[in-house]
Structure 1
């Protein structure tokens, strides 16, 4: 009998442990993992969300001024997603095709719960929906994007490969984000295989996921390192022969141009490789690497949609330091990252965290359910250093020898830096980063045109068009 009682107690405690373990397991997922599991965009077979998609009229996506960019309509009893400015917004908005077991991307993925009406279930809002017979509608997502700027950027980039990012340096709001070549999300159903396997990689968001050598736009970072760690270098002059030899390797200026005797300002305006290589060698790899990391060049930029981590390997030797000083070598960055680098100069040394969602609103009452708040991301340089670089960037656009003259706008002071980044896969990439008005910056623009050649001739005019449209609208 005693053995029987002992066995019963063992079984009792065994099943009790299993029972409480199951409760703890379910409680953990209910409290901590519930939302992730429910709305996981990677799980295209998530039946709960597929059923939710069938019942709920997915909310609309609008630009910052209330212009509808994506909406759902009922066609023969089935829900159809319409993208009203398809290719121009394809990489920002993405697509929603979970119901076809093809998942979702972009804003459609990031704000899936909001668009399905799975947040903000305030009792009064629900009551209003019931009264108005609108209980089966998702919430609307308003973006920080300005449709006018987006369309201008897309038009200027048509026929080119590359990306454009425009943002407000004071808040981090992204005003435009374009990647080309693009695709039409309205035709995904009939062209899925062709689009997904395109040799042009049309689904890749080059603005946030494309990795490129920054070329001479990186000289902003080299200058920041000089002014922060070795400011006496700023007052030195240098005799430019059109090339410089480091460890037996000859590195030329663009076009082999010899500038003669020049100071730091002239070297920045002309984007002289020889001068900046010597500055980098005098500065040292540790200082340059430290400031690069402070700018986030070794990080993944935080954003609601997918971003790729920048690559900035440790600098190894004099030759590597020489190439890194002018934005060549092993480093690779995204166009969004270089927009943030320029925004630090525009915003007194502070980089604000970028974001795409302005607010989420109830479709009936217009009540705001969620709202983004500006926050600091990084603070790589002091205001004094930022102000000094700003003056150099103004000169690069407005000086008679400046490489960025094509970005000039009558009546508006534009600050900028060009780049012509060599790459092993063809002609150089054309870069331009800049902001305006320089006295009180309201917009920063980063442009890259793959294999475009000279940044001052190809990328700068695109940035000019976007800045002019934003400041003169």
Structure 2
């Protein structure tokens, strides 16, 4: 959906679910040992007797006393090294016992001390202090050890069958980095470390560039054994092997503690230190922002950053792109003769298709307007109105054949999601034309779309040159015609000088263009804000989740990328 084109009544959109559990207050007394609490029980639990005198099963949120019993029992037994007893205080004793046993057996954590923090609702945070140890093998073997501490939390839940309050088990209780199937392991690393370098030969580190932590982990997983290094001894998160076909969406293994340094191999990337520094600065000042910067003439990735460093949304995210998708849709309409830059084009207040009624933001309409005017103002109905003239697979084929999307064959050097434009019918197909429905993208994908428009040909983005490992980059089946590419550039340029992207693109010269977007997500008060643009031989795309209009939220991020990368 466009920055000024809010779509209504589109089922099947993304869902974000939040669980809110109310409970009495429990305040931990720090320093008094596990289980020392000041209790302030405000009740809220329902309990009564049946006619035969038997107590009914309790319902409602856990009381302070019940939270204390579950948390105190669990944390005390964990600290004492009794995994079975600790697990008995959870709602999944088998999984909990296996995970806690693994902390001792596989992660080799000893001298564990668990200190609870201040309770909020049914949630109790806690701090784990321990020592990680490992005995090397061989004639020169020695015992390695380092202190290791981390913070986690538990949430008390009421079991429906009997009303008992227990610790709601999930792997992150044992360690915040763990997901289902993951393990903590201390030993010789499976992959040697790597020294990641920027395009100028400088070292890239997560300390200097926090967003690159996951990227460097991914480089190590792919190139560690090829780059000539030797493995050290580490405590690391070993991820569950991804299902077939989901490898590119998987998180790489992550090092938590290095007990002995290995010898790193060197992997050179296309990252520009100036662009990366600017990207880090932009996302650090925002919540849930992600940005990518590309060189459209080559596909080189110059910068990537995320506000959250646990998951690389910029490369692996799967989000509805809103009206930035209209760049692809416009290329389709232009090629099929269903639109012309300066030709008259309908932009009514409403358009119904497949029994869904679509509308524009504030129900605006453009009377006797051109397609250029509709694109610049991000008129939803201008695109929806063409749905009856399209085949169900038209948009899917355009995305795959011209823009290289949705074929799951990109090889950028680290895991990435290549976008998805599934074949749909009726209203869902219409919604896809404006970036809603089941269409899914991330900033890397949308930066690549604009790069294809700017260059006229799809160049698969890459972080590591294919010359390093002789891998094959993805190719598109065909290029945009010179005329169509020029038309889309004109549409995007007009949007930047007279449409929804004016403010972010102001003063950036004549060789530039942009498209705004905002994507509605069920359960969110504000839509996700999107922005994609080019300036010279530079392209950037960003998303700010729950940011509202793309020009207001993601636009300023992209503007700074285009300014800082100009040199």
Q: Aligned partners of 1:173, 1:245: CA distance in 2, in Å?
A: 42
From 420, 423, 429, the counterpart of 1:314: 423
Q: 1:207, 1:336 within 8 Å by CA — same for their partners in 2?
A: yes
From 473, 487, 499, the counterpart of 1:388: 487
TM-aligned CA distance change 1:91 to 1:281, over 3 Å: farther
| Matching of residue 252 in structure 1 with residue 252 in structure 2 | no
Q: Aligned partners of 1:451, 1:91: CA distance in 2, in Å?
A: 23
* 2:554 alignment partner in structure 1: 459
TM-aligned CA distance change 1:59 to 1:274, over 3 Å: closer
* 1:160 alignment partner in structure 2: 287
Q: 2:500, 2:516 within 8 Å by CA — same for their partners in 1?
A: no
From 521, 530, 541, the counterpart of 1:423: 521
TM-aligned CA distance change 1:341 to 1:309, over 3 Å: closer
Q: Aligned partners of 2:557, 2:513: CA distance in 1, in Å?
A: 14
* 2:198 alignment partner in structure 1: 63
Q: Aligned partners of 1:59, 1:247: CA distance in 2, in Å?
A: 53
* 2:533 alignment partner in structure 1: 434
Q: Aligned partners of 2:313, 2:228: CA distance in 1, in Å?
A: 28
| Matching of residue 328 in structure 1 with residue 436 in structure 2 | yes
* 1:243 alignment partner in structure 2: 350
TM-aligned CA distance change 1:204 to 1:225, over 3 Å: same
| Matching of residue 342 in structure 1 with residue 450 in structure 2 | yes
From 314, 325, 337, the counterpart of 1:230: 337
Name stretches of at least 5 consecutive residues in structure 1 with no aligned partner: 1-41, 71-82, 95-105, 119-135, 183-202, 361-369
TM-aligned CA distance change 1:209 to 1:270, over 3 Å: same
Q: 1:141, 1:359 within 8 Å by CA — same for their partners in 2?
A: no
Following TM superposition, by how much is the alpha carbon of 1:234 offset from its aligned partner in structure 2, in angstroms? 5.4
1:209-288 equivalences under 5 Å are 209-231=316-338, 236-288=343-395
| Matching of residue 140 in structure 1 with residue 266 in structure 2 | yes
* 1:99 alignment partner in structure 2: none
| Matching of residue 172 in structure 1 with residue 271 in structure 2 | no
Q: Deviations along 1:128-163, whole A, 9 cap, x unmatched?
A: xxxxxxxx9543222101122112112211232131
Following TM superposition, by how much is the alpha carbon of 1:273 offset from its aligned partner in structure 2, in angstroms? 0.6
What TM-score, normalized by structure 2, do the two folds share?
0.57
What is the number of equivalent residue pairs in this alignment?
Answer: 350
Q: Aligned partners of 1:241, 1:354: CA distance in 2, in Å?
A: 38
- DSSP 3-state at the match of 1:352: coil
TM-aligned CA distance change 1:154 to 1:395, over 3 Å: same
Following TM superposition, by how much is the alpha carbon of 1:255 offset from its aligned partner in structure 2, in angstroms? 3.2
- DSSP 3-state at the match of 1:462: helix
Q: Structure 1 residues 388-397 or 292-301, which shifts more?
A: 292-301
Q: Aligned partners of 1:392, 1:412: CA distance in 2, in Å?
A: 13
| Matching of residue 113 in structure 1 with residue 225 in structure 2 | yes
* 2:84 alignment partner in structure 1: none
TM-aligned CA distance change 1:462 to 1:412, over 3 Å: farther
- DSSP 3-state at the match of 1:251: strand
Q: Aligned partners of 1:390, 1:148: CA distance in 2, in Å?
A: 27
Q: Aligned partners of 2:491, 2:186: CA distance in 1, in Å?
A: 54
Name stretches of at least 5 consecutive residues in structure 2 with no aligned partner: 1-181, 231-261
* 1:405 alignment partner in structure 2: 503
Following TM superposition, by how much is the alpha carbon of 1:372 offset from its aligned partner in structure 2, in angstroms? 7.1
Q: Deviations along 1:30-63, whole A, 9 cap, x unmatched?
A: xxxxxxxxxxxx999898x64985xxxx552221
Q: Deviations along 1:386-445, whole A, 9 cap, x unmatched?
A: 11111111111012x3434322334353211111111113121111111112xxxx1111
TM-aligned CA distance change 1:44 to 1:219, over 3 Å: same
Q: 2:404, 2:475 within 8 Å by CA — same for their partners in 1?
A: no
